[in-house]
Amino acid sequence: MQFLATAAFGLEGLAAGELKRMGISATAVNGGAMFEGTFEDAMRANLYLRTADRVLLVVGSFEARTFEELFEGVTALPWEQYLTKDCRFPVSGNCARSQLMSVSDCQSITKKAIVRRLQEKYHITWFEESGATIPISVTLHANQARLTIDTSGQALNRRGYRTWNGEAPLRETLASALVDLSPWRGNTPLVDPFCGTGTLLIEAAFKMSHRAPGLTRSFALEQFPYLAPGFPAIREAAKAEFNPDLIEGIRGSDIDPEAITLAKRHIVQAGLGGRIEVRVSDMRECHPREEYGVFLCNPPYGERISDRKACESLYRDLGHLLATCPGWSLSAISSHPQFERCLGRRADKKRRFYNGRLECEFMTFFSKQRPPRQSASVKEP
Ligand SMILES: C[S@@+](CC[C@H](N)C(=O)[O-])C[C@H]1O[C@@H](n2cnc3c(N)ncnc32)[C@H](O)[C@@H]1O
């Protein structure tokens, strides 16, 4: 079967890399990473992928410029391989740059076409839809229709630990990508001096402790009637791999006591109680005791004009902190165009991402003084 692990702009290559490290050959495409595999592979992808949003089973794709073409194309697909007589199959939709732009019409035509196909195959006229839910999606992009089954259910960034959002939290998938792209390899401390609700710290700790991000949540495919017998064993193996004792040197601070209260709750909910140190503190009070380390942060961006100046002064102070810690590198994401100027240094590496709707740069400033070579405890992305 063919699957698409959907990923946000800029994260497609990382999602493909994660799949390859899982032993699944994958190709980065617009909107995600394509791979071929079994339902067990899809289960592993759902459990372990850190940077992807969903894992979709691609039932088929074809050109559709008219409703007739859409109906015929959907009817021709082998729905009986995936849908049982009693299952519920809600259809969601999305249209962009196509002749067919009415999402609701595309959804209802898709539903009718699937019913037509199943009526012919199962020789029944009425579908109770009382069984398991199998979510279907029809996407039209540049007149290409793609029909998929969502194997994830809730988006994969919903790891289950974040139940309260603070001010501008980072999406878990992006946070995990930033951990991967930072110079941190687990053999030096990782400090987030603007940790907010703790997303970067938690994602780093997951990585360090080999904790599958989806370990404590369920996925839509586990409810499918043709459930592959291997799913429970895959979960058990993931549970056995998680070793919180491997977590060391991950800590954060924030000036806002409410954010720290939330961070503490999230850390406990992530099963990492006592493993990550967080405290209320102004970034300007940050004086790391270790000679070497990595600052990884998502500071305020000053999107409102009134906040812009305050942010610029904060970035200048971050520059001072970096200058006084020659053994420390800094990786930061910001949409502020003057970040480097305020910090007083040009970034050694840059990458563009969207944080929600905001176009941002993820910048890395390498330490002036390199730590002695030690074996890394987290792998290169
Ligand atoms: C964009 S948010 C970080 C969100 C975080 N990554 C998360 O996932 O929740 C920026 C954070 O910087 C904090 N902050 C602002 N000024 C600060 C300062 N001077 N020192 C420390 N933290 C500060 C804010 O309280 C806010 O939580």
pLDDT score of 223: 87
Mind giving me the DSSP string for 241-304?
H--GGG--SEEEEES-HHHHHHHHHHHHHTT-TTTSEEEE--GGG---SSSSEEEEE------S
Which helix (H) or strand (E) segment holds residue 144: the answer is strand 144-150
Q: Write out pLDDT tens, residues 30-39.
A: 999 999 999 9
Q: What integer pLDDT is reported at residue 55 of this predicted model?
A: 98
311 token code pair? 């942010």
Which ligand 1 atom lies nearest to the CA of residue 299? 10
Q: What is the pLDDT of residue 19?
A: 98
State the pTM of this model. Answer: 0.94
Query: Which residue, judged by its Cα, is nearest atom 1 of ligand 1?
Result: 300
What DSSP character marks residue 374?
-
285 Cα–ligand 1 center, Å: 14
Domains of the chain (ranges plus CATH)?
2-150 (3.30.2130.30), 172-210+242-365 (3.40.50.150)
Residue whose Cα lies nearest atom 3 of ligand 1: it is: 196
Q: Which atom of ligand 1 is nearest to the CA of 165?
A: 9
DSSP conformation letters of 125-139:
S-----S-B--EEEE
pLDDT number for residue 224: 84
Q: What number of H helices and E strands is found in the chain? A: 10, 14
Structure tokens at 181: 């792209």
Does pLDDT of 43 surpass 80? yes
Q: What is the pLDDT of residues 294-351, one digit of tens each?
A: 999 999 998 776 688 899 999 999 999 999 999 999 999 999 999 999 999 999 999 9
- Alpha carbon distance 136, 18 (integer Å): 25
**CA 299 to ligand 1 centroid distance, Å:** 5
In this predicted structure, what is the pLDDT of residue 101?
95
Specify the pLDDT at position 246: 97
What sign results for the dihedral spanned by CA atoms 103, 42, 31, 78?
Answer: negative
Q: Which of 157, 194, 262, 335 to mutate to test the pocket of ligand 1 (most atoms within 8 A of CB)?
A: 194
Q: What integer pLDDT is reported at residue 210 of this predicted model?
A: 97
Q: What is the DSSP letter of 184?
A: -
Spatial CB neighbours of 99, under 8 Å, sequence gap ≥ 6: 65, 66, 143
State how far the Cα of 326 lies from the Cα of 373, in Å rounded to an integer. 16
SS3 string, 43-108, reads HHHHHHCCCCCEEEEEEEEEECCCHHHHHHHHHCCCHHHCCCCCCECCEEEEEECCCCCCHHHHHH
Please provide the average confidence, as pLDDT, over all residues in the chain: 94
85, 68, 49, 78: which is closest to 147 by C-alpha? 78
Are 351 and 333 in contact by the 8 Å Cβ rule? The answer is: no
Angle at 240 between CA 238 and CA 246, to 5 degrees: 100
Site residues for ligand 1, CB cut-off 6 Å: 166-170, 193-194, 196-197, 199-200, 254-256, 259, 282-283, 298-300, 314
Q: How do residues 176-201 score in pLDDT, each as one tens digit? A: 999 999 999 999 999 999 999 999 99
Residue 311: C-alpha distances to residues 257, 306, 307, 314 (Å): 19, 10, 6, 5
Residue nearest ligand 1's atom 5 by CA: 196
Residue 350, classified by CB atoms within 10 Å of its CB into exposed (0-12), middle (13-18) or buried (19+), is exposed
- Distance (angstroms) between ligand 1 centre and the Cα of 195 equals 6
